């Protein structure tokens, strides 16, 4: 004899696929100083090459300008470019690092407190820090996020949805454990 098909009520509900809600980077305002540095450096290097008397001086000026441009402009740009935050329907994923890649994840189902902190400078440009307190010593901070109130609202909504989904799944598992009737046998 074969067991009869399990009733629909005892099968835990299938999880909807994970979707990307938002992809964020820090505000590009932090790249203002490196951009100004490149412009000033280009002018200073051109002036220095114009007044230098010998070839080795020209090469030293150009080499120094390239080194300062790499350290002062290209590396900050690369650091900004490689730090990305992805918010999905189930978690927050932060990826960062130039030479060593670091990936941090925070599940919405863990529950957390979301606050927005803005300095007067950030308020002037419409950005802010989204602080996610997970109950550990150090909060999870998304720095200089554009439209932080929108991010805060989305995170709170996603966390509520995930909590109701987890509670529903636990109720379904508990009802299976407590002995729902399953028809065995047949004719």
125-142 pLDDT tens trace: 889 999 988 777 788 888
Residue-level pLDDT at 39: 95
Mean pLDDT of all residues belonging to the chain: 83
The mean pLDDT values, 10 residues at a time, for the chain of 187 residues are: 51 70 87 94 93 92 94 93 90 88 85 87 90 82 89 86 75 66 54
pTM: 0.68
Residue-level pLDDT at 180: 53
- Environment class of residue 39 by beta-carbon count within 10 Å: exposed (0-12), middle (13-18) or buried (19+)? exposed
Residue-level pLDDT at 172: 74
Query: Could you give the C-alpha distances from 171 to 12, 64, 176, in angstroms and in order?
Result: 9, 66, 9
């Amino acid at each position: 004899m074969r067991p009869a098909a399990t009733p629909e009520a005892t099968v835990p509900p299938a999880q909807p696929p994970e979707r990307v809600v938002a992809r964020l980077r820090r505000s590009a305002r932090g790249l203002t100083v490196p951009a100004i540095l490149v412009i000033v450096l280009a002018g200073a290097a051109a002036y220095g090459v114009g007044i230098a008397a010998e070839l080795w001086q020209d090469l030293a000026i150009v080499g120094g300008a390239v080194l300062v441009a790499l350290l002062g402009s290209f590396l900050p740009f690369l650091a900004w470019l490689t730090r990305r935050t992805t918010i999905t329907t189930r978690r927050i994923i932060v990826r960062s690092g130039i030479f060593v890649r670091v990936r941090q994840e925070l599940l919405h189902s863990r529950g957390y407190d979301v606050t927005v902190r803005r300095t007067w400078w950030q308020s002037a440009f419409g950005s802010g820090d989204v602080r996610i307190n997970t109950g550990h010593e150090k909060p999870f901070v998304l720095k200089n996020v554009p439209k932080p109130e929108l991010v805060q609202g989305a995170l709170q909504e996603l966390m509520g949805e995930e909590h109701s989904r987890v509670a529903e799944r636990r109720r379904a598992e508990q009802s299976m454990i407590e002995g729902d009737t399953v028809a065995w046998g047949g004719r």
